[in-house]
Structure 1
Amino acid sequence: MRKLDVYFNDNRAGVLTERVPGRDYTFNYDNSYLGSDGYSISATLPKRKEPYRSEHLFPFFSNLLPEGANRKVICRALRIDEKDLFGILSAMADKDFIGAVEIRKHKDD
């Protein structure tokens, strides 16, 4: 199981988890973030207590990834399978992201 922390405007909003590689994903908002006046990280992932579940990496997160030739170069350089979207997102964790949402390496609670 792999996990990444999701931040919105430098506040930890929740945790993205890959439970089964390439087949089972969850996103959970942190209770403290749910109680704050912070916005949802995406219109497709409105704030709620119940976890979001998907058989594929949520489109919101996959859209944060590089595409085309950039993805190929990054995957070759880091020896990551181009189909391992969570692996690419993990490799980009703690790097510069455009916008209010950042992905960071998971810190155990």
Structure 2
Amino acid sequence: MLNLKTAATLKKTDSLQYIFRYEDSYFNDSNCLAISLSLSRVRQEYPSEVLFPFFFGLLSEGINKQTQCRLLRID
């Protein structure tokens, strides 16, 4: 049986900054792994002026990418 758990949230603030934050329950569970090497579980919150590179690989390509970028306001 697959046990799904929300790992984190990704927000874009009004000041156009991205904030990645591990959920408390995920961060405090030693059995949960980091989602990437660049977003390790050493810190619970990561701010950035640009979208984290990890998430670029999750976006679509071609016309779907253009649509996603326009809707999500991602350069």
Question: Which blocks of at least 5 consecutive residues in structure 2 are unaligned?
Answer: none
Q: Is the 8 A contact 1:29 1:48 kept in 2?
A: no
Match of 2:24 in 1: 31
Does 1 or 2 have the higher relative contact order (CA < 8 Å, sep 6+)?
1
- Give the length in aligned residue pairs: 71
Equivalent-residue separation in structure 2 for 1:27 and 1:61 (angstroms) = 11
Cα root mean square deviation, aligned: 2.5
Match of 2:40 in 1: 46
TM-score (norm 1): 0.54
Between the aligned residues of both structures, percent identity stands at: 34
TM-score (norm 2): 0.75
Equivalent-residue separation in structure 1 for 2:11 and 2:41 (angstroms) = 17
* Gap change, CA 1:29 and 1:48, over 3 Å in 2: farther
Q: Which aligned pairs between 1:1-109 and structure 2 lie closer than 5 A?
A: 10-20=4-14, 23-36=16-29, 37-72=31-66, 75=67, 81=70, 84-85=73-74
